[in-house]
Amino acid sequence: MMRSTATPQGFAAVVAGALLMSLLTGCVQAPKPLYHWGSFTPQVYEYLRSDSVSPQAQITVLEADLQRARAQGALPPPGLHAHLGLLYSRLGNDAAAAEQLRTEKSLFPESAAYMDFLLKPKIDPGKERQ
């Protein structure tokens, strides 16, 4: 039969350590998300799924998401401005579409080649795509 050699001082040290760890981990904050996604993903899904939601209704929702992101000091996710450009283009508002595509290009330089491809007919409407 084994006898326990735990002392009251050892037990107090374990309890104190556990309390210290719980205090330290309780102070940790969750990391701030990189982007403010809002309703972007459901809106893109809805756009691809069907034509039941008008482009203007989606623009209204996404513009409201952009306002919330700005108010929180957060960045919009990659593709949001490009999607807005697509929606504005569907409504025939080429100036707003070009503005959104340029914004996407400036926020996410890795999209520059594709945004330039999409912008070409907006900038040179008389020229055909090659």
Gyration radius of the chain over CA positions = 26
Q: What is the pLDDT averaged over residues 79-98?
A: 95
pLDDT in tens, 19-37: 777 666 666 677 777 888 8
pLDDT band per the 50, 70, 90 thresholds, residue 115:
very high
Which pTM value belongs to this model? 0.69
Which structural domains are found in the chain, ordered by start? 40-123 (1.25.40)
Distance CA 57, CA 87 (A): 10
Give exposure, 43-82, as e/b (b: 16+ Cβ within 10 Å). bbebbeeeeeeebeebbebbeebbeebeeeebebbeebbb
CB 104 within 8 A of CB 82: yes
